[in-house]
Amino acid sequence: MGLRKPLEADIQRQCIEWLHLRGCLVWRQNQGGVKASYKGKSRFFRFCSMPGVSDIIGLLPGGVFLACEIKRPGNDLTIEQDNFLERVRMKGGVAIVAHSLDELEKGLEGLL
């Protein structure tokens, strides 16, 4: 039996800790939503109103905006995620897709 692929949450945690240790101000941007009921009325609440927003958002030590989409090895971006990262790049930010901490480190080489 081989090793299991790391969970996306494990990769996110590693990347956030590594970025914090290098002086970045970053956080996990929650997505999705939840259905809730109150006094007999049911509503759906979204956690984020921007389609495709990256898993990790923040600032590099010099103040440059960072968007990092974390994916499990073998998984691809959605169209919305790809569009969000492209918009960040067009505005001068750093946009990275990382399937591992090593991939994040390589993507930020020379920027930290």
Residue 112: inside a domain: no
Q: Domain count of the chain? A: 1
Give tens-digit pLDDT for 38-56: 888 887 776 666 789 999 9
Residue 63: inside a domain: yes
Which candidate, 79, 85, 80, 111, places its Cα nearest to that of 98?
85
Q: How far is CA 39 from CA 43, 44, 45, 86, in A?
A: 11, 14, 16, 43
Q: pTM of this prediction?
A: 0.82
Residue numbers in the chain where pLDDT is lower than 70: 1-2, 32-33, 46-49
pLDDT at residue number 41: 85
CB 37 within 8 A of CB 44: no
CB 44 within 8 A of CB 34: yes
CA–CA dist 65, 63 (Å, integer)? 6
CA–CA dist 93, 26 (Å, integer)? 14
* Residue 26 exposed, middle or buried by CB count within 10 Å (0-12, 13-18, 19+): buried
Domain that holds residue 44: 8-107
Residue 58: inside a domain: yes
CA–CA dist 35, 9 (Å, integer)? 23
CATH number, domain with residue 77: 3.40.1350.10
